[in-house]
Amino acid sequence: MADRLLLPESRERELPRWVQIPIGLVLTFLTLLCGFAALVFLFTPTKKSPVLPIVVGLILLLGCFWVLEKCFRLLTGRRNQGGLMSPNALRVVSLFLLVLPIAGLFTGYYRKMGAVAIFQAVMYFFGFLGLRALARKREANGVSNERPKE
């Protein structure tokens, strides 16, 4: 009985289907566009470093495939318990949000862009904290990182 009372509070609100489908379509189109750009980047030969475009292109394509899987779930309405991403996936994405401002220190991005770069770094840091908090919340609610058995 107590579990039934706590369940509505612990669940996150979902977007209605009429919002999920257009978001899925737009995101699918943008992801396919980025995937095409990654393919062009993958097959464009360079003389200075022939391995680097292949490695970067493959990493970008893997990211595009991952986003396309999320788009497929948005469009079909298939649900994962607790949302589109598991707590571990949220932690990985949050780590990338933390790495971006740190990489900006070594590339001279902050000197070049000034206040805009500092604002971006602060927003990336808040995104990192928010995604970590969401992962903790989902883990506390019992969302597992494994696929549900059907």
pLDDT band for position 48 (cuts 50, 70, 90): confident
Boundary (domain end) residue, out of 42, 66, 82: 82
Q: What is the pLDDT of residue 80?
A: 63
* One domain, residues 98 and 119: yes
Q: What is the pLDDT of residue 5?
A: 45
Does the predicted model carry a pTM greater than 0.85? no
What kind and span of H or E run contains 113?
Answer: helix 109-113
Tell me if 85 sits within 8 A of 132, measured CB to CB. no
Domain that holds residue 102: 85-142
**Does a structural domain hold residue 59?**
yes
Has residue 150 got a pLDDT over 50? no
Q: What is the number of domains present in the chain?
A: 2
* One domain, residues 99 and 118: yes
* One domain, residues 114 and 60: no
Helix 52-76 and helix 17-43: axis angle, to 10°? 160
How far is 31 from 37, CA to CA, in rounded Å?
A: 10
pLDDT above 70: percentage of residues in the chain: 84
* One domain, residues 78 and 109: no
**Does a structural domain hold residue 67?**
yes
Q: What is the mean pLDDT of residues 9-17?
A: 69
* One domain, residues 69 and 19: yes
* One domain, residues 89 and 76: no
How far is 47 from 39, CA to CA, in rounded Å?
A: 18
Kindly report, residue by residue over 73-122, the tens digit of the pLDDT: 888 887 666 677 788 889 999 999 999 899 888 888 889 988 999 999 99
Q: What is the pLDDT of residue 25?
A: 93
Distances (CA, A) of 10 to 13, 17, 39, 77, 145: 10, 21, 42, 21, 17
Has residue 45 got a pLDDT over 90? no
Q: What is the mean pLDDT of the chain?
A: 82
* One domain, residues 23 and 76: yes
Helix 87-107 and helix 115-140: axis angle, to 10°? 160
